[in-house]
Structure 1
């Protein structure tokens, strides 16, 4: 892989510092997982700090829930309260109550299963709310997910990574005469044939112009944050930008415990242990948790509710992110490995795990993939007021 090389210093460094001041730019240093915390502001507050608010830097967080699953709503409400997250609820309908006439099916297309219809409509109810409320961005979550107690710190670093990929570079002596914006990822927004991936170490990232609309950057449609598997765009592809941001993160399990099934093995093959990787989404599986911009929400509502129903909801999102032929356009979709949200499989009867498949049996211990300090697994400690940094249950210790 091609590594990012920082520009030479000297005169260029002095010129860059002057431009930083003139462009009113503050640079956020990588957080607790990559070095020194603390932002130096120049003239205005950086939006990166909004990641730590109750809606994680989005305008609203929607949780998709079937009203009959009060158990899931109870657990999510408690987990959100202990991690200081504010939730709004979107209620779905059983699929057998959704008329086939509401789906944009083709002439001879067989209607989908009730389970597929139910998932599709519940998620589109959330997307509809984003458009109707004219929200700049929103996070959509399914009601059976788990996350790390350090989520806000994880998202802080994720936001620095996404803006490094999609925000223009601050002009310097090397690109000051360019007629178009320059990016740290030379394949963004459109890769050239034969380009190789560019690896950028987050603690050494170049200066980018700070975003004005979202802490995650100004030019994204979907942030795919919770999934069952994700691939990195392959070298030479002309459909996806190839840049990859990597950084050390102790909340990532050691390589033997990292589960990357459903995606590619690049994370555990080419990068050191305890590494988090951010890149453009490619062949994602499962839509557990994702953020949408207003632009992205309008496209999703048009494509999936009005224009063309092709498959399960997560597959249709993938079609938009991958720019497949059945879609009129391609969205800007960014993702992270390992995922920041994953399914929580609780202790007890396995039939509780899914409203779609009739799973049987008994699970002796609750668990989730790739989440070390699980908020769901530590709820008992949180309720009792015990735990702390040395006392949280670590699902995947070194």
Structure 2
């Protein structure tokens, strides 16, 4: 929201120290969305706060479509990321090219998804970079991109959302500090996601025109699961963008939900090892390294900002027979 200058301040600093340039788009007061503008199929019983959140995302997607932006990354106002994000994204680009080259596609598109020189390829709609978790498809043979012994991958002891964890039991994927890239299903949360122009067109049509509207992250889940219009999603696990919760009163956490009454002694960021926001004092103070959230559990205790080298990954192939039973709540 425009009046949450506290969130804009924090996000501006985090982006600046990691070399990102960001543009703020105003949040939406759902009570001001006229009934005529609510799409057919909008779930009954959802409150105005949820409607406003959905419309804010639609406005961002509409901007991509209207201005013919080849691709864009959309982040929530409480997003946080690893200090190595640019190096992570360079490797993620290699991963998307690998997945696109080997996975069957039903996109049958004639309009380009991105500019021809996009590092992420030209046959994708959504890169689900920030999530609570995304499952993988266990019923087919498929390619993955594996980044083994990744010091920025949250250790398995700290994995959250058991319902949303992928099955990484096949031998090519298994490892305490491994990160994989794949085509996801049943994802949840949308701390950060990228859309190609093709994907923005398809998602805006699906949500605003077709009658399939759903609460924001449920919309991404639905379109990745069902692949209407040939929609194509690619995601990492563990996530590359998490959500930050500042120290102090929990009432400041959200403009969508009432979280008053609690107090947080220490700031936290979910699923990010070398959190940018949690290390701001070290970075701004000129320290040469940042610290992990989980000493004793992470692969490395600290990351050197000058000499740290992000690992290279490789493509692997997994046959459906290789998945072992992996118990999760439904």
Q: 1:139 pairs with 47, 68, 73, which one? A: 73
Is this contact kept in 2: 1:351–1:358, CA < 8 A? yes
Show the counterpart of 2:253: 353
* CA radius of gyration, larger in: 1
Show the counterpart of 2:301: none
Deviation at 1:92, TM superposition (A): 1.9
Aligned residues: 284
**Equivalences for residues 204-223 of structure 1 within 5 A:** 212-223=116-127
Give structure 1 stretches of 5+ with no counterpart. 1-65, 168-182, 191-210
Is this contact kept in 2: 1:103–1:309, CA < 8 A? no
Q: 2:208 pairs with 305, 310, 330, which one? A: 305
Deviation at 1:306, TM superposition (A): 2.1
Show the counterpart of 2:111: none
Q: Is structure 2 residue 190 aligned with structure 1 residue 287? A: yes
- TM-score for both structures, normalised by structure 1: 0.67
Provide closer, same or farther for how the CA distance between residues 90 and 244 of structure 1 changes in structure 2, counting only shifts above 3 A: same
**What is the alpha-carbon root mean square deviation over aligned residues?**
2.1
Q: Is structure 2 residue 306 aligned with structure 1 residue 371? A: no
Q: Is structure 2 residue 105 aligned with structure 1 residue 189? A: yes
- TM-score for both structures, normalised by structure 2: 0.80
Show the counterpart of 1:88: 23
Q: Which moved more, 1:74-83 or 1:355-364?
A: 355-364
Structure 1 residue ranges, 4+ long, deviating more than 6 angstroms after superposition: none
Q: Is structure 2 residue 131 aligned with structure 1 residue 224? A: no
Q: Is structure 2 residue 2 aligned with structure 1 residue 67? A: yes
Show the counterpart of 1:50: none
Deviation at 1:131, TM superposition (A): 0.9
Provide closer, same or farther for how the CA distance between residues 255 and 109 of structure 1 changes in structure 2, counting only shifts above 3 A: closer
Deviation at 1:109, TM superposition (A): 6.5
Is this contact kept in 2: 1:105–1:111, CA < 8 A? no
**Equivalences for residues 89-238 of structure 1 within 5 A:** 89-106=24-41, 110=44, 112-167=46-101, 183=102, 185=103, 188-189=104-105, 212-236=116-140
Q: 1:339 pairs with 239, 242, 245, which one? A: 239
Is this contact kept in 1: 2:132–2:160, CA < 8 A? no
Note the alpha carbon deviations across 1:300-332, whole angstroms, 9 max, x for none: 1112112225421111122111117xxx52410
Q: 1:245 pairs with 145, 156, 159, which one? A: 145
Q: 1:316 pairs with 207, 213, 219, which one? A: 219
Aligned equivalents of 2:205, 2:55: Cα separation in 1: 13
Q: Secondary structure at the match of 1:336?
A: strand
Show the counterpart of 2:180: 277
Is this contact kept in 2: 1:231–1:283, CA < 8 A? yes
Give structure 2 stretches of 5+ with no counterpart. 107-114, 298-330
Q: Secondary structure at the match of 2:229?
A: coil
Q: Could you say which structure has the greater relative contact order, defined with CA pairs below 8 angstroms and 6 or more residues apart?
A: 2
